[in-house]
Structure 1
Amino acid sequence: MYEGVFREDMFEEAEGLDHPYFQTKHESEKIVRQDCKVPWTVYRPAMVVGDSTTGEMDKIDGPYYFFKLIQRLRQLLPPWMPTVGLEGGRVNIVPVDFVVNALNVISHQPSIAKKCFHLVDPVGYRVGDVLDIFSRAAHAPRMNQL
């Protein structure tokens, strides 16, 4: 498995994907790259969540399934007890309005055929910070204590 920064021009390096979701995305893109007879552009957004200003969303999937679990976990654990092990690592999440704006800007640029664009946060979030954001949205206590 490739380790390091994965750039938009690095399609071949994405071999040996162990998750079915990523495997299907990669295989689909491979078909487009090999067989498509019309100009194509690939957009690879990070995990997309609700609107950045209102939090509004139009469907419940992905990270939103964790809201009830987060609420229940914090109800079972004392508030002073940190959830050790959940604070590390990074995850990339972007709000839907960021993705829409990026698609709008990029799609109006000349010469984007046969190119790929990562629609991501250049830094991402620590997993613990994401859990705290979800906890706040789920009206649950913080997962990681300061």
Structure 2
Amino acid sequence: MTQYMFTGFPGFIASKLFHALQEKSPSASFVFLVHPTQLTKARHMCSNPHIQLLPGDITKEHLGLSKNQLKQLQEEVTHVFHLAALYNLAVPKEAAHAVNVVGTEHVNRFVRSLNNLQRYVYFSTAYVSGDREGPVTEDELDCGQGFKNHYEWSKFEAEKKVAQLEGVPVTILRPGIVVGDSQTGETAKFDGPYFIMRFLDALRQWPIPYIGKGEAYFNMVPVDYIVEASLALAHSEKAVNQTFHLTSPSPPRVRELIHMISEELLGKKPALTAPFSLFEMIMKLPPIPRWLSVQKESLVYLSSHAEYDCRKARSILLAAGIDCPDVADYLPQIISFYKRHRDDHDKKIAVE
């Protein structure tokens, strides 16, 4: 019998993956390693008798589980999806290391103890590329790059440890910047391009500026594509011991994205170009990020010149009928959802 185990539930992507798997494999059972602080929320989201919620913590030895729990899992779990991580761009180094690096080491050790493992799916990020510029292929990892924040660095260190596993059927996934559902616009948090929306929203009574030259590509992907692609690769024999970019094959440049957002959100085109350095200066003023609910650490991604090659992923996904939609086709749904929920406190990013 197939048994899927998840870390990172009830997070947004983990929850979407679970519901999609439920539809595809109604007879499968599920085990969720849930941090104690998320247990109440997880219970509200689960009513299926084939679901087991286990309070645990990836930062602890044996994931904080008992010997009896571990013994049962070692015999029954067939697939592990490891999504638990600190995704905050402003995360302190110590916290990022404890959760993203040490936590992944603990999950790796657990995975190696499983007797019937068919696949270990690790969710990394395209931004393990750090400060690299130009083409980045799916088979590249350690190229001597530096990192823009502790989040990138810790995911890089964690991915290295997963890639070094021997005798384990691993699939490593590197999503781009994940946004809401391409059909409904639904999302859990307003980060990534939503920061652009919040910024332009605040300027709606003024001439709208482009942010610098805007020549960099902004690689965003809708969550439903991430879910479809992840499940297809998790069950493809061609994906064993491979790494894939779940990124857009044709991302917009930042200038083009700002133009599209401004027209859809505000009904008007940007009228001028302001220096990127001006926005950097403004975002360093503490009241501004808090007022906008925008992390100043996010601004650097508007000038990141990495270009993510996703041909290896697409060779498998296109054969399965899965393709990443174009931003222009789903941006109206993303912005419509944002408009309806822009004041929802739970969707705003906490900025200190």
Which band: TM-score by shorter chain? 0.7 to 0.9
Aligned residues of 2:211 and 2:255 also touching (Cα < 8 A): no
Q: Which residue of 1 aligns with 2:163?
A: 33
Which residue among 151, 154, 177 is the counterpart of 1:24?
154
Alignment equivalent of 1:48, drawn from 163, 178, 181: 178
**Aligned-pair CA distance for 1:140:** 5.7
Q: Describe the SS at the equivalent of 1:142.
A: coil
Aligned to 1:75: 205
2:232 aligned with 1:105, yes or no? yes
- Aligned-pair distance for 1:14? 5.5
Identity fraction in percent: 35
Q: Following the alignment from structure 1 to structure 2, what is the Cα–Cα distance between the partners of residues 5 and 133?
A: 25
**Corresponding residue of 1:129:** 256
Structure showing the higher helix proportion among its residues: 2
Contact 1:49–1:95 (CA<8 Å) still a contact in 2?
A: yes
Q: Equivalent residue for 2:145?
A: 15
**1:106 Cα deviation (Å)?**
1.2
Is structure 2 residue 222 aligned with structure 1 residue 92? no
TM-score calculated relative to the size of structure 2: 0.36
SS in 2 for 1:135: helix
1:4 is aligned to 134
Q: Distance in 1 between matches of 2:214 and 2:132?
A: 24
- Structure 1 alignment gaps of length 5 or more: none
1:86 deviates by 4.5
Answering whether residue 193 of structure 2 is matched by residue 63 of structure 1, we say yes
Q: Which amino acid aligns with 1:122?
A: P
Q: Could you list the runs of 5+ residues in structure 2 that have no partner in the other structure? A: 1-130, 273-352
Give per-residue Cα distances to partners, 1:61-99, cap 9 Å, x unaligned. 33323322111224222x6xx537354221111111111
Structure 1: which amino acid aligns with 2:215? G
2:145 partner SS: coil
Paired letter, 2:138: E
State the alpha-carbon separation in 2 of the partners of residues 29 and 40 from structure 1: 11
1:2 to partner: Cα distance: 4.6
Pairwise CA distance, 1:135: 3.0
SS at match of 2:172: strand
TM-score of the superposed pair, with normalisation by structure 1:
0.78
Q: Distance in 2 between matches of 1:136 and 1:93?
A: 18
* Higher gyration radius (CA): 2
Aligned length: 142
Shift of residue 36 of structure 1?
6.6
